[in-house]
């Protein structure tokens, strides 16, 4: 089985789509966003296609394309249906697969089911993306605790934003997870600048846990 990695976030709009683009580019893999909520403007899959530079066939079609930029359960209801979690089974592809979740871990997919409970059933390793802005310590530690409580394997935490050394050390220490690196803000964001920023701050073997010994 090829490498499959779930990219989760502590919140929405923290940069996990940009991180996903960088990760799938570095892996030379495939990208899948199971649920896209909000279709006005550029979708996450379109952003990843543009920033990764991967062939169109490497960007897998979403299982759900919802019109309203809202929690998936509500966006689906606005479109007149309920999300069927059987359609969210991870795809089999002939190479590494990066799966980007919608919003934060605890967003409802239906009135009875949270996103985190679905990914717990996948039993795939997670990279948790976290911003370095104010409030991230609480959000990050709660997200780590929720993943661990459900037995979801955590590859580590990837920070996104300005350098805040204390934040970047205390979250892995209390959470008992590895700090994988930090993707800085990129003023002129394109495929080349993203590739260089990711290569300067992350290591694919380290993300995959090759030779890792702990937090």
The answer to whether residue 212 is domain-embedded is no
User: What are the residue ranges in the chain where pLDDT is below 70?
Assistant: 1, 210-215
The answer to whether residue 95 is domain-embedded is yes
Distances (CA, A) of 48 to 33, 42, 111, 180: 10, 10, 30, 21
State pTM to two decimals: 0.95
d(CA 99, CA 79): 24
How many separate domains does the chain show? 1
Distances (CA, A) of 170 to 73, 131, 138: 34, 14, 11
The answer to whether residue 126 is domain-embedded is yes
The answer to whether residue 145 is domain-embedded is yes
Given this model, what pLDDT does residue 211 score?
A: 43
Match 């002939």 to its residue by tokens. 94
The answer to whether residue 213 is domain-embedded is no
- Which residues are marked as active site? 33
The answer to whether residue 215 is domain-embedded is no
The CATH number of the domain holding residue 52 is 3.40.50.300
* Domain hosting residue 71, numbered range: 4-207
The answer to whether residue 214 is domain-embedded is no
pLDDT tens-digit series, residues 6-15: 999 998 889 9
pLDDT tens-digit series, residues 141-154: 999 999 999 999 99
């Amino acid at each position: 089985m090829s490498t499959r990695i779930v990219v989760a976030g502590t919140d929405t709009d923290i940069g996990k789509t940009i991180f996903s683009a960088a990760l799938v580019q570095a892996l030379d893999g495939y990208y899948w966003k199971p649920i896209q909520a909000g279709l006005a403007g550029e979708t996450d899959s379109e952003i990843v296609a543009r920033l990764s530079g991967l062939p169109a066939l490497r960007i897998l079609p979403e299982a759900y394309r919802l019109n309203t930029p809202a929690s998936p359960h509500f966006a689906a209801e606005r479109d007149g249906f309920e999300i069927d979690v059987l359609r969210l089974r991870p795809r089999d592809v002939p190479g590494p697969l990066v799966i980007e979740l919608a919003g934060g871990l605890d967003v409802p997919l239906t009135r009875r089911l949270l996103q985190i409970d679905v990914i717990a059933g996948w039993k795939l390793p997670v990279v948790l993306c976290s911003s370095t802005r104010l409030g991230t310590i609480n959000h990050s530690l709660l997200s780590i605790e929720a993943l661990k409580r459900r037995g979801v394997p955590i590859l580590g935490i990837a920070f996104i934003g300005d350098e805040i050394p204390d934040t970047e050390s205390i979250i892995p220490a209390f959470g008992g997870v590895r700090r994988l690196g930090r993707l800085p803000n990129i003023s002129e964001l394109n495929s080349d600048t993203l590739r260089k920023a990711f290569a300067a701050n992350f290591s694919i073997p380290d993300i995959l846990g090759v030779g890792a010994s702990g937090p």
